[in-house]
């Protein structure tokens, strides 16, 4: 695969005229002091190969293994390059070869998890023009591809490189025209140039088969392989919306909402008659915490006729994330009214759709609850210090209104039967959070130490209750309705002894690195 990528870049490089095509200098910086058990994840050559396929820019990889870079070293244009160049050396080299863009990569793998990060700089500026990693996600973690339970790093590297190249082509390089001279004359098979690659013939049946194969992988717990199948299916026919919709949904479900949004948005731009892709993009952006972009995506969908319960619910979700709870309530009520009207007309209820809608709304409620709890936690010591009390009192009033509205809005949701118990407990937890907000507001007026203690205790109880109800919600998702009285069977389900905390596993966060100041 590495040789194939290098040959693709070489073909593009040889075809490009001296200055006609924008150049991209790609540097993979080596980690200094890798964590124990970690290793470098080499992405530069594969990214260059994927970028070359789009034929808009000419990628050049830093290092002797790149023929074009080596030629610059040999003729003295680039002088004595370091293996791990610093900022000044990178900028000097980019200027010497007239590179319009610089891409800096930092990537490692640890404990079977990939942590790829990239930053794009343009026209010699130190300002980041595009990024993937901690600047856009709470974690730079990337999904890995597994085969028979083991990580396939070759496929993982290829998948990451392909995703980045697609994102860059849409978000950074789209203004540059496609140059036919940059396209490789033939595809490369098995590392041997000159052999024509077979052109896949994809029809509706093939698309249905790809979706069916992907669903088999999903049902067997192999969402990673399903994504791989759907990526190939989308590449084979980029203008078929169903495959791209399912791909975006799976990416979002695997904890990669920004990749899901980018995938759906790219399809929406290519297929104006599929406004549902804009809604999928909006939903993913909400999960990533990008309410402004989500709002823009919903507006794009509405402008193309995608008006219905889902669009209205997403508008409600956007208002919820933005703290505009009155507007959120109006949008939710309109969505529910329209959904119920359609259900009555059809004479039946789509339980799966209702369950999916509830699950998504609960995710947003959890995010909003965490945000409110953090704000209350920060506010208590601020009130104790007493700086700018009028502003602190106003913040306290706002948090009280926000917490009460969230508790009221929760009653608008109709839970599926399997989540009835957790919904009831979530309602109590939200009311406890609202009680804490009321006590914080009272403390801001009285400055009483007793009231401060009461507020802190109530907040601690609310946070604990919210955590407990999320664990119960997980159990319900896995096993259905959980008996309120408990049983030996329930203990077995929760891993013995009824310890629900055992289910609360989170992916390990990678070591954060600051964006290189290139």
Q: What local confidence, expressed as pLDDT, does residue 171 receive?
A: 84
Predicted structure pTM score: 0.46
Which pairs from 465-468 meet CB under 8 Å and 24+ separation? Answer: 465/425, 465/428, 465/429, 465/432, 466/366, 466/369, 466/370, 466/373, 466/426, 466/429, 466/433, 468/425, 468/429, 468/500
Q: What local confidence, expressed as pLDDT, does residue 481 receive?
A: 63
Tens place of pLDDT per residue across the chain (518 aa): 444 454 444 444 444 444 478 999 999 988 777 787 788 888 999 999 889 888 889 999 999 888 889 889 988 999 889 988 988 999 999 999 999 999 999 988 888 788 888 999 999 888 999 988 754 433 445 566 766 567 778 878 888 888 888 889 888 898 898 887 765 544 333 334 444 433 333 343 455 678 888 888 888 777 778 888 888 888 778 888 888 888 888 887 776 788 888 888 888 888 888 888 888 888 888 777 777 888 888 888 888 877 777 787 788 777 776 767 667 767 766 776 665 444 343 333 444 445 556 776 777 778 778 878 888 888 888 888 887 788 888 888 888 887 887 787 777 677 888 888 888 888 888 888 889 999 999 999 988 888 888 888 988 898 898 888 888 888 887 776 655 444 333 333 333 333 323 223 333 233 333 445 45
* Rounded Cα distance, 298 and 319, in Å: 12
Q: What local confidence, expressed as pLDDT, does residue 32 receive?
A: 74
Supply 302's token pair. Answer: 């509405």
* Rounded Cα distance, 326 and 329, in Å: 5
Please state, in angstroms and as integers, the Cα–Cα distance from residue 443 to each residue in 6, 399, 432, following that order.
Answer: 66, 13, 16
* Rounded Cα distance, 479 and 419, in Å: 11
Strand pairing of 101-110 and 23-28? parallel
Q: Buried b / exposed e across 465-485, counting CB within 10 Å, b at 16+? A: bbebbbbbbebbeeeeebeee
- Name residue, tokens 């028979």: 148
Supply 166's token pair. Answer: 């697609």
CB 89, CB 19: distance < 8 Å: no
* Rounded Cα distance, 300 and 295, in Å: 9
* Rounded Cα distance, 445 and 467, in Å: 30
The residues, ordered by sequence, that sit 6+ positions from 87 with a Cβ below 8 Å of its Cβ are: 516, 517, 518
* Rounded Cα distance, 452 and 501, in Å: 30
Q: What is the CA radius of gyration of the chain?
A: 26
CB 129, CB 52: distance < 8 Å: no
Please state, in angstroms and as integers, the Cα–Cα distance from residue 373 to each residue in 36, 203, 438, following that order.
Answer: 35, 52, 13
The residues, ordered by sequence, that sit 6+ positions from 389 with a Cβ below 8 Å of its Cβ are: 383, 444
Q: Is 82 exposed, middle or buried (0-12, 13-18, 19+ CB in 10 A)?
A: exposed
Q: What local confidence, expressed as pLDDT, does residue 419 receive?
A: 85
Supply 194's token pair. Answer: 């000159």
* Rounded Cα distance, 320 and 371, in Å: 11
Q: What local confidence, expressed as pLDDT, does residue 92 receive?
A: 92
CB 400, CB 439: distance < 8 Å: no
Q: How many CA atoms lie within 13 A of 46 on its CB side?
A: 19
Q: What is the DSSP string of 259-323?
A: HHHHHHHHHHHH-TT-THHHHHHHHHHHHTT-HHHHHHHHHHHHHTT--SHHHHHHHHHHHHHTT
Supply 187's token pair. Answer: 């595809």
- Name residue, tokens 């093939």: 206
Largest CA distance in the chain: 81
Q: Which helix (H) or strand (E) holds 76?
A: none
The residues, ordered by sequence, that sit 6+ positions from 303 with a Cβ below 8 Å of its Cβ are: none
CB atoms within 10 A of CB 347: 6
Q: What local confidence, expressed as pLDDT, does residue 313 receive?
A: 77
Supply 224's token pair. Answer: 């990673």
* Rounded Cα distance, 258 and 262, in Å: 6
Q: Which helix (H) or strand (E) holds 456?
A: helix 449-479
Q: What is the DSSP string of 2-22?
A: HHHHHHHHHHHHHHS-TTTS-
């Amino acid at each position: 695969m590495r040789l194939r990528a290098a040959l693709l870049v070489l073909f593009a490089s040889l075809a490009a005229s001296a200055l006609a095509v924008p150049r991209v200098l790609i540097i993979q910086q080596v980690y200094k002091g890798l964590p124990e058990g970690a290793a470098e994840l080499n992405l530069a050559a594969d990214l260059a190969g994927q970028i070359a396929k789009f034929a808009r820019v000419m990628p050049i990889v830093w290092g002797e293994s790149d023929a074009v870079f080596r030629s610059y070293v040999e003729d003295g244009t680039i002088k004595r390059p370091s293996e791990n160049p610093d900022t000044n050396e990178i900028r000097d080299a980019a200027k010497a070869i007239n590179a319009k863009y610089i891409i800096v990569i930092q990537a490692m793998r640890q404990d079977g998890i990939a942590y790829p990060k990239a930053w794009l700089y343009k026209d010699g500026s130190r300002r980041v023009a595009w990024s993937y990693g901690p600047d856009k996600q709470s974690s730079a973690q990337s999904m890995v591809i597994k085969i028979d339970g083991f990580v396939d790093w070759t496929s993982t590297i290829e998948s990451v490189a392909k995703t980045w190249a697609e994102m860059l082509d849409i978000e950074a390089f789209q203004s540059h025209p496609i140059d036919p001279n940059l396209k490789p004359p033939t595809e490369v098979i098995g590392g041997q140039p000159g052999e024509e690659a077979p052109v896949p013939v994809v029809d509706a049946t093939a698309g249905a088969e790809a979706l069916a194969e992907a669903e088999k992988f999903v049902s067997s717990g192999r969402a990673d392989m399903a994504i791989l199948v759907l990526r190939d299916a989308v590449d084979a026919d980029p203008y078929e919306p169903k495959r791209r919709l399912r791909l975006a949904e799976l990416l979002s479900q695997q904890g990669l909402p920004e990749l899901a949004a980018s995938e759906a948005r790219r399809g929406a731009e290519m297929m104006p008659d599929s406004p549902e892709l804009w809604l999928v993009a909006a939903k993913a952006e909400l999960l990533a915490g990008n309410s402004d972009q989500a709002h823009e995506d919903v507006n794009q969908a509405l402008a193309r006729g995608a008006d219905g319960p889902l669009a209205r619910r997403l508008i409600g979700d956007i208002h919820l994330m933005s703290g505009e709870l009155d507007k959120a309530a109006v949008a939710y009520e309109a969505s529910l009214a329209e959904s119920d009207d359609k259900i009555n007309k059809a004479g039946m209820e789509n339980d799966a759709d209702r369950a999916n809608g509830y699950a998504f709304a609960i995710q947003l409620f959890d995010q909003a609850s965490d945000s409110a709890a953090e704000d209350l936690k920060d506010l208590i010591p601020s009130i104790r210090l007493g700086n700018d009390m009028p502003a602190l009192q106003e913040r306290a009033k706002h948090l009280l209104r926000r917490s009460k509205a969230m508790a009221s809005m929760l009653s608008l949701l109709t839970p599926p039967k399997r989540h009835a118990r957790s919904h009831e407990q979530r309602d109590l937890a939200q009311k406890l959070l609202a009680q804490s907000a009321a006590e914080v507001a009272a403390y801001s007026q009285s400055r009483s130490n007793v009231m401060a203690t009461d507020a802190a205790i109530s907040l601690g109880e609310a946070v604990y209750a919210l955590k407990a109800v999320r664990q119960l919600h997980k159990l319900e998702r896995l096993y259905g309705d959980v008996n309120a009285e408990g049983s030996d069977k329930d203990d077995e389900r929760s891993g013995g002894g009824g310890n629900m905390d055992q289910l609360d596993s989170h992916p390990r966060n990678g070591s954060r690195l600051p964006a290189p100041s290139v």
